[in-house]
Amino acid sequence: MNCLGHDFLFVYGTLLKQADNEMSRFLASHSHCIGDGYFQGKLFQVAHYPGAILSDAPADKVYGSVYQLYHASTVFNVLDDYEGINEQSDVPDLYKRILVEAWLFDKRKLKAWVYIYNRPTKGLPVISSGKY
């Protein structure tokens, strides 16, 4: 079954429910978790948080959860700020939000927004399990 829509958000780090911080609670209160899954990417330890990038290698997977957002524009206004997206800045944003193809463990495939790390990854430790 394919689900199409742009009100899905894939999270893999500090926005996961188990992170239990202000932003993960904000997300939980403005969305519904539809399941766990993965997208094709590589995960890095940036600092006290992870950063994911896209990968062409099918074996590279970043694992997390997919949320269906109740009011996407409201949620993205808050989360874009949290993730360091600032269109007014001359400095490259820390993350960028893009649409990716994600697979849920129940075999559904969908397009979901994800925050992708937007800085060089050279020298950053790879989280080879793909799980944060």
* CA separation, residue 120 to residues 30, 43, 44, 95, 116 (Å): 32, 13, 11, 11, 12
pLDDT band at residue 3 using 50, 70 and 90 as cut-offs: very low
* Percentage above 70 pLDDT, the chain: 95
pLDDT at 5: 53
* pLDDT 10s digits, 48-82: 999 999 999 999 999 999 999 999 999 999 999 99
Q: Tell me the percentage of the chain whose pLDDT exceeds 90.
A: 90
Q: Can you give the pLDDT at residue 92?
A: 86
Q: Does domain 2-117 have CATH number 2.40.50.140?
A: no
